[in-house]
Chain A
Amino acid sequence: MLQKETGPGGGEVDQAWTEGAPRTAPPASITASLRTWLPVTAATAICLGIHWFVSSTELPAETRSYFVFLWSVLGVSLVLAGAQIGWPALRRWMRQMGPIFSVALLTLGLWEMITSGFRWLPLPYFPSPAGVFQSLINDRALLFDSTWHSLILLLSGYALGVVAGLISGICIGWSSPVRYWGMPILKVVGPIPATAWIPLAMVVSPSAIFSAAALIALAVWFPVTMLTASGISNTRASYLDVARTLGAGRRFLIFRVAIPAALPSIFIGLFMGLGASFLTLVVAETVGVKSGLGWYVSWAQGWAEYGKVFAALVIMAAFFSTIMTLLFKVRDRVLVWQKGVIKW
């Protein structure tokens, strides 16, 4: 299995473990990996210390859940440190992720020192991590509901835009009459940011949700069309020549040669479209749609509840990066034949 050799982000460490290394590691590397994981536990302990020190002047109800959170992180890190002894795959992962987790935790500690500790940043605009965490817990039902609504809107708009973009991109890329008429439209209409249509969309469409989905679709449509068309029209002529001499008809040439050859370019379009869809989603929810995370942020800001604003930002970060990661996974699956040719 040549194509399965390296895991995601795999460096030499991965290689060393997959290629014939014994499943039980020599004892020396256990202490070595303990050393790499120890900073995570230490960073958590520092955070706990900072929080304990800073929160002594605050209400216990506002700070307790962050304590619970940090204690849980500490507990989990200790359990992992123990579990990795007989589990090489886990140890590999921990060795790779240890520094990132440590720095992330220390950043939380630093944030708490700057906000609740020294009060260098003005309140209520910059709440402490404990405050944000508390908002996250308190308002979880509404946050969940908002995330759900955002997800539905995002997926429907994105799917619509991708389908439309693929169809128009394939047509423009393949057929020169379609390119002649389609390209000018694409070049004139495409670069307008989808959010600029919002005033018009609100007048034209009966429902804000529907027009938001259409705007997201428009935002996705442009890059997907552009890069699909360019990928299709840049298909190596010799691939098409070979296919013709093998007896290929037009269907084969389009669906089995041009589209697979264009896939790397199409995926770039899908990624650009996804970024554009996040932006359009949040703006549309902020100004028109009465639900979703964008709406939640402006609503919380209206009540000057900045803990909730930050909570929603945290959710957005997790939400959007999860979707991005899923698209990466799909691409790795589909473009497995490129592995080793192109460094992603």
Chain B
Amino acid sequence: MVTQEAVEASSLRVREVSKSFPLPDEPTTRRLALDNVSLSLTAGELVSLVGPSGCGKSTLLRLIAGLDSPDSGELMVGAESITGPNAERGLVFQDPNLFPWLTVRRNIEAGLVARHVLKEKRHEVDEFMRLVGLESFAGAYPHHLSGGMAQRVALARALINHPKVLLLDEPLGALDAFTRMRMQDEVLRLWQARRTTMLLVTHDIDESIYMSDRIVIMTQRPGRIERTIPVALERPRDRSSADFLQLRGEILELLHFAGNAVAI
């Protein structure tokens, strides 16, 4: 059983965070990418971030990962504030970004090597390769893998560090519809088995309803949180159930409205 302390340690809080970037043409003026964004995930929660492109979803994820720092505001995992990238916050991109010079096995090992714990934890590599069903591809190089397989390796590579928070930046966005649905189940299976706190950026509304406990809808320019919608459907969810479709309709309407608001 997971203790109460550990549960709280893997909660995620984003408080009044703003972030701006210099414009590529005029470096002196800055554009606000995130405006006063607050978000909080309880431990073990799976939350989706949905919104039009350019609404700062990926920026927010990079801030949480510690790859960028905010202009103002505070980001915290448990009781610790985020100051830089760390193995306790895993990140999976749309492009699996596997190291092409390493075999599948060595890619999955990378986190252990980086943290100098390969010797003690070598047995876990096999465990994670089994977990994502890639035992027979241990010696293959990434360019031999299909998109779905590569993304499974990327998931295993991020999970081997046992991150408290897993950040997913449109991880299934580049996959075909069938592979994508299979991978959604696979991610859910990993999440249910490990109860990692997960923040999933997606532009696929069906995906967000199918997978998450809550859906956070963001608006564009500057990126703001428009609304948070809890998904109270029972798991495993049925993509064609009436409740599912109704929720889908609501969100679509909301996004359309949000889009208009910006246009005016």
- Knowing A242-B91, A244-B67 touch, does A3 contact B115 (C-beta < 8 A)? no
How many angstroms from the CA of A263 to the CA of B100 in the assembled complex?
12
B96 closest partner in A (C-beta): A242
Which residues from chain B sit less than 8 Å from chain A, CB to CB?
Answer: 62, 65-67, 84-87, 89-91, 93, 95, 97, 99-103, 110-111, 113-115, 140-144, 157-158, 161
Chain B residues whose C-beta falls within 8 Å of the C-beta of A246 in the assembled complex: 87, 90, 110-111, 114-115, 157-158, 161
Chain B residues whose C-beta falls within 8 Å of the C-beta of A182 in the assembled complex: none
Of A93-101, A108-116, A248-256, A283-291, the stretch lying at the interface with chain B is A248-256
Q: Are B101 and A244 in touch, CB under 8 angstroms?
A: no
25 CB < 8 A contacts A-B: A2-B140, A241-B62, A241-B65, A241-B67, A241-B91, A242-B93, A242-B157, A243-B110, A244-B67, A245-B86, A245-B90, A246-B114, A246-B115, A246-B158, A247-B87, A252-B114, A256-B113, A256-B114, A260-B99, A260-B101, A336-B141, A337-B100, A337-B142, A338-B100, A340-B144
How many angstroms from the CA of A260 to the CA of B86 in the assembled complex?
22
Which residues from chain A sit less than 8 Å from chain B, CB to CB?
Answer: 2-3, 236, 238-239, 241-249, 252, 256-257, 260-261, 263, 336-338, 340-341
- Which of A2, A245, A246, A249 gathers the greatest number of chain B CB atoms within 10 Å? A245
Q: Are B161 and A247 in touch, CB under 8 angstroms?
A: yes
A interface: dominant SS = helix
Give the residue of A243, A337, A340 whose beta carbon is less than 8 angstroms from that of B114.
A243
Chain B residues whose C-beta falls within 8 Å of the C-beta of A252 in the assembled complex: 113-114
B115 closest partner in A (C-beta): A247
> In the complex, what's the smallest C-beta–C-beta distance from B60 to chain A, in angstroms?
15
> In the complex, what's the smallest C-beta–C-beta distance from A33 to chain B, in angstroms?
33
> In the complex, what's the smallest C-beta–C-beta distance from A293 to chain B, in angstroms?
37
Chain B residues whose C-beta falls within 8 Å of the C-beta of A245 in the assembled complex: 65-67, 85-87, 89-91, 158
Q: Are A247 and B101 in touch, CB under 8 angstroms?
A: no
Known: A241-B91, A245-B65, A256-B110. 16 other contacts (CB 8 A): A239-B97, A241-B62, A241-B65, A242-B93, A242-B157, A244-B66, A244-B67, A244-B85, A245-B158, A247-B87, A247-B114, A247-B115, A256-B113, A336-B141, A337-B143, A338-B100
Chain B residues whose C-beta falls within 8 Å of the C-beta of A340 in the assembled complex: 143-144
How many angstroms from the CA of A338 to the CA of B102 in the assembled complex?
10
Chain A residues whose C-beta falls within 8 Å of the C-beta of B101 in the assembled complex: 260-261, 263, 337
B93 closest partner in A (C-beta): A238
A247 closest partner in B (C-beta): B87
Chain B residues whose C-beta falls within 8 Å of the C-beta of A239 in the assembled complex: 97, 99
Q: Are A248 and B93 in touch, CB under 8 angstroms?
A: no
Chain A residues whose C-beta falls within 8 Å of the C-beta of B161 in the assembled complex: 246-247
> In the complex, what's the smallest C-beta–C-beta distance from B98 to chain A, in angstroms?
9
Chain A residues whose C-beta falls within 8 Å of the C-beta of B87 in the assembled complex: 245-247
Chain A residues whose C-beta falls within 8 Å of the C-beta of B144 in the assembled complex: 2, 340
> In the complex, what's the smallest C-beta–C-beta distance from B87 to chain A, in angstroms?
3
Chain B residues whose C-beta falls within 8 Å of the C-beta of A338 in the assembled complex: 100
Chain A residues whose C-beta falls within 8 Å of the C-beta of B114 in the assembled complex: 243, 246-249, 252, 256
- Knowing A2-B144, A247-B115, A340-B143 touch, does A242 contact B100 (C-beta < 8 A)? no
Q: Are B86 and A242 in touch, CB under 8 angstroms?
A: no
> In the complex, what's the smallest C-beta–C-beta distance from A333 to chain B, in angstroms?
13
Q: Are A341 and B143 in touch, CB under 8 angstroms?
A: yes
A253 closest partner in B (C-beta): B114
B86 closest partner in A (C-beta): A247
How many angstroms from the CA of A159 to the CA of B1 in the assembled complex?
59
Q: Are B89 and A242 in touch, CB under 8 angstroms?
A: no
Chain A residues whose C-beta falls within 8 Å of the C-beta of B99 in the assembled complex: 239, 242, 257, 260-261
How many angstroms from the CA of A2 to the CA of B111 in the assembled complex?
26
Chain A residues whose C-beta falls within 8 Å of the C-beta of B97 in the assembled complex: 236, 238-239, 241-242
> In the complex, what's the smallest C-beta–C-beta distance from A251 to chain B, in angstroms?
9
How many angstroms from the CA of A249 to the CA of B115 in the assembled complex?
8
How many angstroms from the CA of A199 to the CA of B141 in the assembled complex?
51
Q: Are A337 and B67 in touch, CB under 8 angstroms?
A: no
> In the complex, what's the smallest C-beta–C-beta distance from A338 to chain B, in angstroms?
8
How many angstroms from the CA of A46 to the CA of B228 in the assembled complex?
88
How many angstroms from the CA of A246 to the CA of B154 in the assembled complex?
11
A251 closest partner in B (C-beta): B114
A1 closest partner in B (C-beta): B139
Q: Are A337 and B102 in touch, CB under 8 angstroms?
A: yes
> In the complex, what's the smallest C-beta–C-beta distance from B121 to chain A, in angstroms?
12
Report, nearest first, the 7 A-B pairs whose CB atoms are least far apart. A247-B87, A244-B85, A246-B111, A248-B114, A245-B91, A260-B101, A247-B115
Give the residue of A3, A241, A260 whose beta carbon is less than 8 angstroms from that of B141.
A3
How many angstroms from the CA of A3 to the CA of B139 in the assembled complex?
10
How many angstroms from the CA of A341 to the CA of B85 in the assembled complex?
31
How many angstroms from the CA of A3 to the CA of B141 in the assembled complex?
9
How many angstroms from the CA of A5 to the CA of B91 in the assembled complex?
35
> In the complex, what's the smallest C-beta–C-beta distance from A212 to chain B, in angstroms?
36
Chain B residues whose C-beta falls within 8 Å of the C-beta of A261 in the assembled complex: 99, 101
B68 closest partner in A (C-beta): A241
Chain A residues whose C-beta falls within 8 Å of the C-beta of B91 in the assembled complex: 241-242, 245
Chain A residues whose C-beta falls within 8 Å of the C-beta of B142 in the assembled complex: 337
Q: Are B95 and A238 in touch, CB under 8 angstroms?
A: yes
How many angstroms from the CA of A139 to the CA of B206 in the assembled complex?
82
